Amino acid sequence: MKLITKPLVGLFAGVVGAALVLSISHFTSWGRDGQPVFNVSATPIDRDARLGTSFAPIVKKVAPSVVNIYSTRFIKEQPMRNPMFADPFFRQFFGNQFPSEGDDRERTRKEQSLGSGVIVSADGYILTANHVVADADEVKVSIADNKKEYTAKIIGKDSATDIAVLKINANNLPAVTLADSDQLEVGDMVLALGNPFGVGQTVTMGIVSALGRSGLAGFNQYQNFIQTDAAINPGNSGGALVDVEGRLVGINTAIVSPSGGNNGIGFAVPINMARNVLVRLVSGGKVTRGYLGILPQDIDADLAQQFNLPSQNGALVGDVVPGTPAAKAGIKAGDVITAINGQPIDDAHGLQLTVSQISPGTSIAVKVFRNGVSRNFTVILAELPGSEIVAGDEGNSNSSTAMADALDGVTVADLEPQVREQLRVPADVNGALVTDVSSDSNSADAGLMANDLIVEINRQPVNGADDAVRLCKAARGEHILVKVWRRNGNFAGTRYLSVDNTKRK
């Protein structure tokens, strides 16, 4: 039977960097430079302790921190016409809900979805799954068993990890205590809290079935999932996965199911990863990721033999992009990266995940195996080209930014030299690189695609991301003329696109 991956939005219509510091004491608070203050308990659970007969004390402790999230999206639609609905006979049954001939008024349809979230700071910061709020025009958060409701601001979103950060204007909230998810072990007991199917806050119990799950098709890019058999269903997205001490270990995000319901295979984003994303969103308005500049691959038994490796652990460097941090440090094709900052690297995905969570500009120690000898390199990471913009209303960015107004739903970045080389962009062509286009945007409808290079907006030259944003803010009228350079295999050239400049509500 084919397995179907399901995000958990409700059925009513989604190596830690220097900025992240884990407490080594049993219970502390953490905060710096305007960051949220977290309650952190980083010690592992007592696995020799005798279980009690009830989890009620833990649920009472955690339940107030888990909230319901209602997201609303307004969709404009052209009227559907059918001559028979103009007939008085049909109108006595259906009324005037269907437009008559000549009625060209645009209708607005409201689409709602339901998810969950977790209060992580007393001053109103909430973690949830990105797909719960990804396309929302309005987000409401209800707490205290729906007795209080707040309008939430989306501080930032990161689709690559499926994490979003919300903020409500409230104080003295019941913030959950964060655990160190690196301390989890397979077999540890966990509880999942959320609002499945909108029935109300629900608690389910299970164990950690696996750790470090990755390579799952249809899921977000950076996968390091906690797998659990605690029942998770639509509406649980963004809810809490806690240990037997009531500490948050993960944010529930997805299930694997042929039916859409719980089949005992659920996934949560580890809280260490989610917290890393939160810190970057709050401090910088976007998630910047470290960049080595290599093309890594996994090592099978044949490759291990060909390279005379002691094991299949590590990431084989298939190629090094010229001018990148790895090239400058002396890393070469054929090297096998076995550790970053002393942390063992098991495979190519593990390398990507580790580097992505280290801030650009950080100096890291890279251990490689070359020609039978271990060698150490120091590499200063650059920023991953096209790092996703994720900020809400007050996001700030330079090298990568969400387009304003005229090209809403488009993310652009400056064209870095290594990307220019990869896309084979001629030296005399400049512009803003499109790194992402929302599938339901006007720009996507017009044919704009990721890896397009925007060279003109309304006949004005674009030399980088800042130019693109500036010209979008200044754009007026119902349509915007966008000139793009695009490569399609061995063919490349420019074309014009006319993008609808009326924002979708």
Q: Give the catalytic positions in this structure.
A: 131, 162, 237
Cα 270 to Cα 186: distance, rounded to the nearest angstrom: 14
Block residue for tokens 């649920």:
59
Q: Residues 6 or more apart from 248 whose CB is under 8 A from it?
A: 62, 65, 118, 120, 176, 177, 178, 179, 240, 241, 242, 271
Cα 295 to Cα 293: distance, rounded to the nearest angstrom: 7
* Distances in whole angstroms, Cα of residue 120 to Cα of each of 29, 55, 124, 136, 429: 11, 21, 8, 22, 46
Reference 34, options 284, 224, 288, 350; nearest CA is 284
- What sign does the dihedral 238-244-249-252 (CA atoms) show? negative
Block residue for tokens 């500490």:
247
Query: Residue 187 has which token pair?
Result: 């077999």
Buried b (16+ CB within 10 A) or exposed e, 189-209: bbbbbbbbeeeebbbbebebb
Contact 162, 155 (CB under 8 A): no
Contact 99, 15 (CB under 8 A): no
Reference 364, options 345, 346, 377, 383; nearest CA is 377
HSE-up of 123 (CA within 13 Å, CB side)? 6
Query: Residue 190 has which token pair?
Result: 């966990």
Most distant pair of Cα atoms in the chain: their distance: 87
* Distances in whole angstroms, Cα of residue 17 to Cα of each of 77, 182, 285: 45, 15, 16
Contact 30, 135 (CB under 8 A): no
Rg (CA), the chain: 25
Where are any strands of DSSP class E within 371-464? 373-380, 382-383, 400-402, 410-414, 432-437, 453-457, 460-461
**In terms of DSSP H, where are the helices of 337-495?**
348-356, 417-423, 442-446, 465-474
